[in-house]
A = this chain, B = another copy of it.
């Protein structure tokens, strides 16, 4: 994921920058020629975190702001005004960070729904898998799910996938009127066939995870689908499913790393969890660079 982004350099605004793993990831991204940075927070705190982690930071890149909420506001403003390209989360609660991003006047809202995409780099499959929405929209209705599909397809295309294959996940692959996730999947599949959503992508569901990822599982179950076994994008029924599924990857696969970005915002926004590794945050910076370059 890292190599291909070095050609063009985004400037990342780190909100509440006194965060060891975020700062360290950003400094490493800078050293790899992947990003410039501007750091929002208290200089003394940022310098102390950097020193403790053995990081060489450019003191001139620090913008002195007191308070986490204020640091988020200032970083968002810098991105909105074009002084930086990408927003990144430092040591601040997600809800505080998102409040600044989602502010109707001073935030980074785009034209439509904003949604979150996790990106797994599944090494043994040799492919990227995009999971959405596992972090922002809690219980999306059909219309919101359609927007989530659109945004995830944009993200996948930003990574160079010409015609992303989207699996609308449920617990089963049959449409069961008692299971709303299967009904929504059927509706959105048909909307896609009518070219109402996700043009330039192939959408199918409901699919269960096994037949979305494994051609063998799809074959055994007799599922005929252009997506089954070859899904690039996994769209989940709600935030509980998505969060568990997305997090399963880095915690179950030794060395498995994932990136997290917002799509549908006016500018690329990185949301990582406080518990994410430095490598995961570095991957998220790289992912944001793809989205930024593609203008998605």
Contacts and interface: CB of A to CB of B under 8 A. Distances in A.
Given A240-B171, A241-B240, A247 B124 contact: no
A256 B170 CA distance: 22
Q: Among A169, A171, A178, A213, find the residue whose CB has the most chain B CB atoms closer than 10 A.
A: A171
A24 to B, nearest CB: 14
A239 interface: yes
A1 B208 CA distance: 27
Interface in A238-288: 238-245, 247-254, 256, 273-275
A61 interface: no
Interface stretch (A74-82, A143-151, A188-196, A215-223): A215-223
A124 B169 CA distance: 28
Nearest to A274: B220
Contact of A171 (B172, B244, B256): B244
A210 B274 CA distance: 11
A244 B205 CA distance: 14
A169 B254 CA distance: 22
A250 B211 CA distance: 12
A157 B169 CA distance: 32
B242 A245 contact: no
Contacts of A247: 208-210
B244 A169 contact: yes
A87 interface: no
Contact of A253 (B179, B214, B252): B252
A208 B243 contact: yes
Given A169-B244, A170-B243, A249-B252, 10 more contacts: A138-B179, A179-B239, A179-B240, A208-B247, A210-B247, A216-B275, A217-B251, A238-B240, A248-B248, A248-B249
15 contacts: A124-B254, A138-B178, A170-B243, A171-B240, A181-B240, A209-B247, A210-B247, A217-B251, A220-B274, A220-B275, A240-B241, A241-B241, A248-B252, A252-B252, A252-B256
Interface of A: 122, 124, 134, 138, 169-172, 178-179, 181, 208-211, 213-214, 216-217, 220-221, 236-245, 247-254, 256, 273-275
- A-B pairs with the 10 shortest C-beta distances? A171-B243, A217-B275, A248-B248, A209-B247, A171-B239, A220-B275, A241-B241, A244-B245, A171-B240, A209-B244
